[in-house]
């Protein structure tokens, strides 16, 4: 059972986390949701299309202009409060590695802290425990926030992913984060080259076998672009193919840009797996 905010999800219930970037320099939309009204419209559309979680980020993942903790909080805290006011039942996640930002967004109404940089600030898990909110424990290969991997090597990339993410999850549990609100994430592209991310996808069932719910953040990432030699705006098909494989292998939560398309892929895989009936079943029965 996965429990986040006011929601509970069964073991075979896929969950969509919609990305809302409060940054002027996002790799995907170049700041389309930096201002409040476009961002709120994005939240409304994502919820209507089937997203249960809204993931709000105030700093882009890649290198760029420095964003202080104060600026990150300015971009996210008030927006979290407004999303909570307008959408009282939606699960609000904030993508941050900083404990001080985590503290502020939890006070504003966040339900989940998405630590994409692998516990670089150990205080973030303590914040999650103190507020009783969820935590995403991610493998980032020891990379510093907002840095790109350079000639990184692993003897066994999945072994490293398991050691790090399960270790972070167990630490969070020991601190008091509710077990049913902790997820692990292989961290595609973070501290990895394309072959590492492909292998992590191929062996995702090994993460699922740990018993911790698995979150994947695949959407339009560089490993998809390099695999197919496609620019950012032409990676949707590759992303959806990777999503289908991840769903078949047992991942539960999907951090995405394209909500409606992802919903169809997840519903189709769930139906093939026998976890969901067809929406309509008339063929051969009339």
Torsion sign, CA atoms 2, 264, 43, 234: positive
Give the chain's radius of gyration (CA, Å).
18
Token reading at 69:
């903790």
User: Maximum distance among all alpha carbons in the chain?
Assistant: 63
Q: Is 255 a catalytic residue?
A: yes
Bridge partners (DSSP) of residue 57 are 21, 95
Assign residue 109 a region: left if phi > 0, alpha if psi is -120 to 50, beta otherwise?
left
Catalytic residue among 255, 263, 276, 282: 255
Catalytic residue among 221, 230, 233, 276: 221
d(CA 210, CA 113): 21
Distances from the Cα of 76 to the Cα of 34, 60, 136, 252, 270, angstroms:
10, 13, 18, 26, 34
Torsion sign, CA atoms 193, 183, 99, 125: negative
Active site residues: 221, 255
């Amino acid at each position: 059972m996965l429990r986040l905010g006011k929601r509970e999800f069964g073991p075979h219930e896929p969950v969509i986390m919609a990305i809302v970037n409060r940054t002027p320099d996002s790799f995907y939309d170049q700041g389309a949701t930096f201002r409040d009204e476009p961002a709120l419209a994005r939240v409304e559309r994502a919820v209507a299309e089937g997203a249960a979680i809204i993931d709000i980020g105030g700093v882009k993942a890649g290198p760029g202009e420095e964003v202080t903790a104060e600026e990150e909080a300015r971009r996210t805290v008030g927006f979290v409060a407004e999303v909570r006011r307008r959408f009282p039942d939606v699960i609000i996640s904030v993508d941050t590695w900083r404990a001080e930002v985590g503290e502020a967004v939890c006070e504003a109404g966040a339900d989940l802290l998405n630590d994409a940089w692998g516990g670089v600030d150990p205080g973030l898990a303590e914040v999650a425990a103190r507020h009783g909110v969820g935590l995403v424990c991610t493998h980032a290969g020891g990379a510093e926030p907002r840095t790109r991997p350079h000639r990184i090597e692993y003897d066994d990339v999945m072994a490293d992913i398991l050691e790090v993410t399960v270790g972070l999850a167990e630490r969070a549990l020991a601190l008091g984060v509710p077990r049913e609100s902790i997820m692990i994430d292989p961290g595609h592209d973070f501290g990895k080259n394309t072959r590492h991310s492909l292998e992590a996808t191929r062996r995702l069932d090994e993460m699922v076998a740990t018993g911790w719910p698995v979150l994947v953040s695949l959407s339009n990432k560089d490993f998809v672009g390099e695999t197919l030699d496609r620019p950012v705006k032409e990676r949707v098909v590759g992303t959806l193919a990777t999503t289908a494989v991840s769903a078949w292998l047992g991942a539960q939560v999907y951090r995405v840009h394209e909500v409606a398309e992802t919903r169809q892929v997840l519903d189709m895989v769930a139906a093939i797996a026998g976890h969901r009936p067809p929406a309509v079943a008339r063929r051969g029965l009339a």
